[in-house]
Amino acid sequence: MLSNLLFFICILISSFIFTSHSYNNKCLRHQETLLIQLRDELIFNSSRSTKLVRWNESGECCKWHGVECDASGYVVSLQLDNETIYGGIGDSSSLFRFKYLQKLNLAYNHFFSDAIPKGIGNFTCLTHLNLSHAGFVGQVPSEISTLTRLASLDISKYYQENFILELPNLEMLVHNLTELRELYLDYVNITSFHERKRWSHIVSSYLPNLTALSLRRCSISGPLARLFWKLHSLSILRLDGANLSTVAVADLFSNFPFLTTLTLRDCSLKGSISSTFANLTELIHVNLESNFLTGSLSSMLFKRLSNLVHLDLSFNSFSGNIPHSLFALPSLLELYLSHNQFNGTFQLDSFQSLPNLTLLYLSGNSLSVDVGNVNSSLKLKELGLGSCNLSNFPDFIKHLDLKYLDLSANRIAGEIPSWVWGTQLWLLKLSFNLLTDFQKPYHIPVSLEYLYLDSNQLRGELQLPIPLESHLMILSLDNNSFSGSIPTSLCKTTHIIFLSLSKNKLSGSTPPCLLKYIQWLDLNQNNINGSIPDIFSLNCNLQYLVLNNNNLEGKIPKSLKSCMSLEVMDVGNNKINDTFPCMLSSSLRILILHSNKFHGEVTCNMTSWTALQILDVSSNNFSGRMESINFSNWRGMMQWSYAQPYEVEVTLIMKGIELELEEIWPYFGSIDFSCNNFIGEIPNAIGDLTSLYHLNLSHNALNGNIPQSFGNLSMLESLDLSRNQLTGPIPTGFGEFTFLEVLNLSYNKLVGVIPKGRQIQTFSAAPFVGNPGLCGFPLNTNCSHTNELSPREHEDVEEKREIEWECVSAALGYVVGFGSILWLLLFCRSFRQKYFGKIEEVVEDIFIARDMRRRRARMASRNRARRH
């Protein structure tokens, strides 16, 4: 009864509101008092507030910013978006005493870790509720489902790992919201697996008149319900990240004739863009990025899309020519066609008919771009012409003041012209060209955040004129011929988090200031000397430290202990003289100490490196008993710990291809203890490391038996136990191995019959020689003989010489480099290729985090760029 009465009042009020604006609404005293109370309760930053901060007793309260009243003076709308509110809305808040509220907007505030207040259920007149990007977490309260007059509901959020908004029951939420026309739930976690599949049925059966539906990144999937195709009023449809692999794209284009916004980024769409697309004449914003769409684009498709402003078809497999009708779309501002298979010659001056075009991305196709006579009237701000077969810097760029310029993977030789740096550039990518010098003088703009000059022929002293206020974050100069020392000018900016200088000819020492803020540092293959500065701070963010192949001396810095995110450390092939770095963080996944002067034991009392996947301590002077190494903690090398893939949502750029990964299977373990002075027995626990692909304990002084548990290492592809003092028989489990490609048990004191098995029988005698007590195939020793022969003296001498040779060649072992790991084992080719892939997977996995950050940074800077 009461609720019916309230409905009646709502209707009365809403019939007034259309006319109310022309009235000089009188502020009701009690409403003003309530507003002032609300202002005082809310916690916000008054130096950033533009509305609340100006609410005060002088003046008409219905005219205060963000407030609207109906004809009789009741507050019906509160627009408190973007007010930096971060608290003060409890269930007893004055907010809930505005009984006639129809519109409430709390979007873009900072309620981090507050739940959406249940009091919202009191607003029986509410038609518009906007809580988007407000930082609310926890469950969407069921009270919202009682707001039966709602026409628009927006509770979407950005991706923020730690702030999860859960919707336990979508059907319950919309069941009674029959008036709803707009539903925005981006990034909300629809917790029911069942509903994530049935969403299209739920939405279309309860909300048949929807005009806007946005369910980006809600982990939903197809197929789509038959009723869904009847949502003919849809104008905004955004389903990015949904798995629509079972949906025919033609249906998406033919059933929703009034679409203005269509974004289906990363939806596993297949097939080609059907001719029905041409009928979507209202389209303004289209994003089909990162799908599996194919075919050529007919010019007919775009002829009538005269409202089109934004078109993103990048990261698909479209082929053929770029359609001419695109150049006739007068409103087009942003065009992304990069990373497809478009081919043919493309006349860049076609775009002169689009004077307002601000973004043009053509990189990563098979196009030959003919620059022609582009005049200077273009307003381009972002230009991607990577791998466009250019042999010069296009002249017209001189007249643009770009924010983004990609000319990578062309054939441009000679100097980097000084005009290329512009005044507001934030990304410059000239990688993979034939550039040799910088035209001087030049200056790096303060705005530059990303600079990629890698894989060119740049030479001479490395001297970058980085300005004091520089925003440079990512600097990639690897694979050039820079010489001299690492300039301290790199320290002028506190922003550099990623620095790759690998494969140059740099010498001198590492400037300590460089390490202060760095997250990724790659100095691989230079001539850097001195020691690694011991200056990592308590809030160290280092994740990736690769110093392989230099002349570093001294010790591993003790302060690395504070780097709790360290995942990769490679100091191989240097002259570091230290004990095993037990203090490193448990986040460690790759540790390479190969070929240095490390000594002492490899035992750690405290640390348990549960994430460790690759450990290479080979060719050092480590000693001690093998049994004291605690292998049972290395869960990174045990399959069961990763039986479930990580669910991630990341974009990864590898070799010019951007991939969105959702699952990672980090199954790869490798241990190399070879060429040291370890003694004692091989611990049984190694047999638990079931993800081991590679195990090398050769050239030590191990004794005892090979543990029976080795039979569990079913993934093993390479096993080297040669040149030890191992005794006893070869475990029968060796007969079960199926992937083993490299086996070396030579020069031990093994006895008995070589086990039989499919794989082990395919080896030659070489892996078994030097064990006088072994017999049977493939050795020609007959097993009827006893095995009591002792090794001959002269063999020992020969053995010594061979150890040295093998340990030197093993010094080529691992080289971790930026973006790729080279595995230069002197084994057969196919073996090498296989490993290359495996290690790359691990590194990809690690790189993901970086690329996600990069991408976020890219978004952020792009947004920033837009706002300017």
Ligand X SMILES: *[C@@H]1O[C@H](CO)[C@@H](O)[C@H](O)[C@H]1NC(C)=O
* Contacts with ligand X, residue ranges (CB under 6 A): 45, 47-48, 54, 56, 58-59, 81, 105, 107-108, 130, 132, 145, 152, 154, 164, 166, 172, 175-176, 178, 182, 184, 189, 191, 208-209, 221, 243, 245-246, 254, 268, 275-276, 278-279, 319-320, 330-331, 343-344, 356, 601, 603, 605, 662
The answer to whether 45 and 84 have CB atoms below 8 angstroms apart is: yes
Minimum CB separation from ligand X for residue 370, in Å? 13
- In the complex, minimum distance from the CB of residue 19 to ligand X, in angstroms, rounded to a whole number: 23
Beta bridge partners, 817, equal 820
Least separation in angstroms between residue 480's CB and ligand X is 32
To the nearest whole angstrom, how small is the minimum distance from the Cβ of residue 366 to ligand X? 7
Let me know: does 289 contact 315? Beta carbons within 8 Å: yes
Q: Closest Cα partner for 197 from 259, 254, 244?
A: 244
The residues, ordered by sequence, that sit 6+ positions from 409 with a Cβ below 8 Å of its Cβ are 363, 386, 387, 431, 432, 433, 656
* Nearest residue (CB) to ligand X, 642 versus 777: 642
CB of 54 to ligand X, least distance (A): 4
Dihedrals phi, psi of 324, to nearest 5 degrees: -70, -25
Q: In Å, what is the CA distance from 339 to each residue of 108, 138, 349, 455?
A: 34, 39, 21, 20
Least separation in angstroms between residue 639's CB and ligand X is 22
Q: Which is nearer to ligand X, 124 or 548 (CB)?
A: 124
CA 133 to chain centre: 22
What is the three-class DSSP state of 36? helix
Q: Please, which residue, 221 or 524, has the CB nearer to ligand X?
A: 221
Is the CB of 319 or the CB of 587 nearer to ligand X?
A: 319
> Residue 339's closest CA among 80, 660, 84, 693?
660
Is there a contact between 501 and 526 (Cβ–Cβ < 8 Å)?
yes
Query: Contacts from 452-461 at CB under 8 Å and sequence distance 24+?
Result: 452/408, 452/428, 452/476, 453/416, 453/477, 453/480, 454/478, 454/479, 454/480, 454/500, 455/431, 455/479, 455/480, 456/430, 456/431, 456/432, 456/480, 457/481, 458/482, 459/483, 460/484
Q: In what order do the strands lie in the sheet with 701-703?
A: 599-600, 621-625, 677-681, 701-703
Q: How far is the CB of 164 from ligand X (least distance, A)?
A: 5
How far is C-alpha 54 from the geometric centre of its chain's CA atoms? 42
**Angle, CA of 807, 809 and 814, to the nearest 5°:** 95
**Minimum separation from the CB atom of position 44 to ligand X (A):** 9
Q: How far is the CB of 676 from ligand X (least distance, A)?
A: 16
Q: Which of 490, 387, 484, 499 is closest to 452 using CA atoms?
A: 499
Contact indicator for 92, 116 with CB cutoff of 8 Å: no
Distance CA 743, CA 607 (A): 32
268/781 with CB nearer ligand X: 268
Nearer to ligand X, 64 or 452 (CB): 64
Judged by CB, which is closer to ligand X: 204, or 670? 204
Based on CB atoms, which residue is closest to ligand X, 58 or 863? 58
**Rounded to the nearest 5°, which phi and psi values hold at 577?**
-115, 95
On whether the CB atoms of residues 791 and 769 are closer than 8 A, the answer is no
Q: By C-beta, is 293 or 528 nearer to ligand X?
A: 293
CB of 599 to ligand X, least distance (A): 12
Task: Give 274 or 485: the residue with its C-beta nearer to ligand X.
Answer: 274
CB of 320 to ligand X, least distance (A): 6
Nearer to ligand X, 97 or 561 (CB): 561
Report the amino acid identity of residue 359.
Answer: L
Q: Which is nearer to ligand X, 144 or 821 (CB)?
A: 144
- Residue 848 structure tokens: 């993901």
Q: Which is nearer to ligand X, 553 or 662 (CB)?
A: 662
Residue by residue, what is the 3-state secondary structure of 42-54? CEECCCCCCCHHH
Cβ proximity to ligand X: between 205 and 527 the closer is 205
Instruction: Give me the least distance between CB of 664 and ligand X, in Å please.
Output: 13
Which H or E run contains 796? helix 793-810
* Cα(719)–Cα(767) distance, integer angstroms: 10
How many residues does this entry show for the chain? 868
| Measured distance CA(274)–CA(153) in Å, rounded | 33
Q: Give the shortest CB-239-to-ligand X separation in angstroms.
A: 13
Q: How far is the CB of 622 from ligand X (least distance, A)?
A: 12
